[in-house]
Chain A
């Protein structure tokens, strides 16, 4: 008995982690999947109902708006975060004075919650007392910046706040990537007469392909899950114009009490994340094994 215990101790120590994740992650995802095939309203029902919830979901105008917003947000969020992140990383890589301070400033939003920063942006972007008033007081009488209350434009305020929060993070990833490149490569290229621009554009950035890939995965992941920022900034409004899938899911479940429909939307989100993450994990694992 004691012998057995000693031999299996490592596995016993690991059991809680595996058990908890097995139940609370995999078990729960399957549970949600099951609910999505039932006609559950406030309380779960367990008779199967087929794909009815998914049909309802894709016929819902609000869900379509949410998906639309997600696509707009993801595209802009990705582009701006990556471009700003790369510019900052390359510029910081030029033996800058006070680099540490600047880095700290670029990255501090990552330490704050989206509720905190969303509250700040909501105040800054509000038309009556925020930026719009600031410019008008400065003498630009006709300056208008009311995106926050404009159905068409409100989604872009979420992009502004989202990029502000996450661009520094991409900067950190790229800076770490650039610093890991051997100095010799850069020196050799410079001796061959390559300008600094050429060195970055032709040599260093192409070497950063894994960093691009990682940033892409992480940013898409953040955008699919975005919830807090929208709650803090617009609550999905004006109207339902800034609804996103994560907000749709919780509203449908906890305000509208349509549990089955909400489970279906959760599964759509799950599949979207899986489509991005599984190839990523696969390639990461291959890279690690190749080492």
Chain B
């Protein structure tokens, strides 16, 4: 008798905690979804706004659904209206950004791989200090180098050009790429390299035969990181280029600010999506690597 009483009260207790658990679970999902909608809200607004006509925008609200798939503002954002002066659109600047990103990512990744390789597998006295010396470059506020850089680019004759921006992005990417490769190679057993050296393999042979084949993950992390940083850069782009050589972020900002007559929010939003879509695609396809770069080397905004 007593036993059964005990067990039933125990059951009751268990039942109760089950209900609180279910309640907590719902609460958990509620909060998570609430935040998810906060994060998704601007993207949603951008997309629907870009599909509306200005008339619809004035009549509806931020959230209201567009009447149809109206791609006109996208066409205007990408290719302009077709009249001459004063017609700004993104197409040429999009290609500027591509021309800037590809070489800058390649050079900075290559230099970082080499430096990381030396710092971990060909260690020398004081290499810790060299690493620290390079690492500090990740953190400097770029305002502290803007003025000399502007002057230097002028002296070299590459101010206001894509070439100049490639140089700038390559140089200031090196600390990050070095950090990535150094931290990756440090976990590769040095015995492998030692054995190869005894077999007579040289510096480059060891790199290309032993390290490069296992470097795919870190190359992906580095390339994604550099691509995102350089594509999204505004400070260097706006300081060292204007007019025709500007990268897309600068062009986007100019477009949004330079509305002389009526503000066309649908075109603005389409432009913003166009400027954001390359990095967004990379993020969706390779988010894992993006996050890895972010958490291991994220110091930039």
Interface size for A (C-beta < 8 A) is 92
A17-B280 in contact (CB<8A): no
Which residues of chain B from 26 to 58 have a CB within 8 Å of any chain A CB?
28-29, 31-32, 35-36, 38-43, 45-46, 49, 57-58
State in angstroms the CA–CA spacing of A39 and B98 once bound together: 40
State whether A269 touches B144 (Cβ < 8 A). Answer: yes
- With the chains together, A235 CA to B272 CA distance in Å? 17
Stretch binding the partner chain, chosen from A52-60, A182-190, A199-207, A258-266: A258-266
Least distance between B300 CB and chain A CB atoms (Å): 8
Cα distance, A152 to B258, chains bound together (Å): 26
Interfacial chain A residues near B151, Cβ < 8 Å: 44
Whether the pair B39, A13 counts as a contact (CB closer than 8 A) is: no
Q: How far is the CB of B194 from chain A (nearest CB, A)?
A: 14
Chain A to chain B contacts (Cβ below 8 Å), 22 pairs = A17-B112, A17-B134, A20-B111, A20-B174, A88-B32, A94-B28, A106-B39, A110-B283, A113-B275, A114-B232, A115-B249, A120-B45, A123-B46, A123-B268, A129-B265, A134-B62, A169-B298, A221-B139, A227-B235, A263-B147, A265-B143, A285-B128
Contact among B38, B141, B283 for A269, CB-based, below 8 A: B141
Determine whether the beta carbon of B122 is less than 8 Å from that of A18: no
Q: Does A153 contact B (CB under 8 A)?
A: no
Q: What residues of B have a CB within 8 angstroms of the CB of A28 in the complex?
A: 144-145, 148-149
Say yes or no: is A87 at the interface (Cβ < 8 Å to chain B): yes
Residues in B with CB closer than 8 Å to A254 are 239
Contact B58 A129 (CB under 8 A): yes
Q: Is the interface of A mostly helix, strand, loop or mixed?
A: helix
Q: Using a CB-CB cutoff of 8 Å, which residues 50-97 of chain A contact chain B?
A: 84, 87-88, 91-92, 94, 96
Q: Is the CB of A124 within 8 A of B62?
A: yes
A160 → chain B closest CB, angstroms: 10
Known: A25-B136, A169-B294, A225-B301. A253 touches B235 (CB 8 A): no
Do B39 and A14 touch (CB < 8 A)? no
Taking CB atoms, residues of chain B closer than 8 Å to A277 are 136, 139
Interface flag for A208 (CB, 8 Å): no
The 4 closest A-B pairs by CB, nearest first: A113-B232, A111-B283, A10-B122, A28-B145
Contact between B137 and A25, CB atoms less than 8 A apart: yes
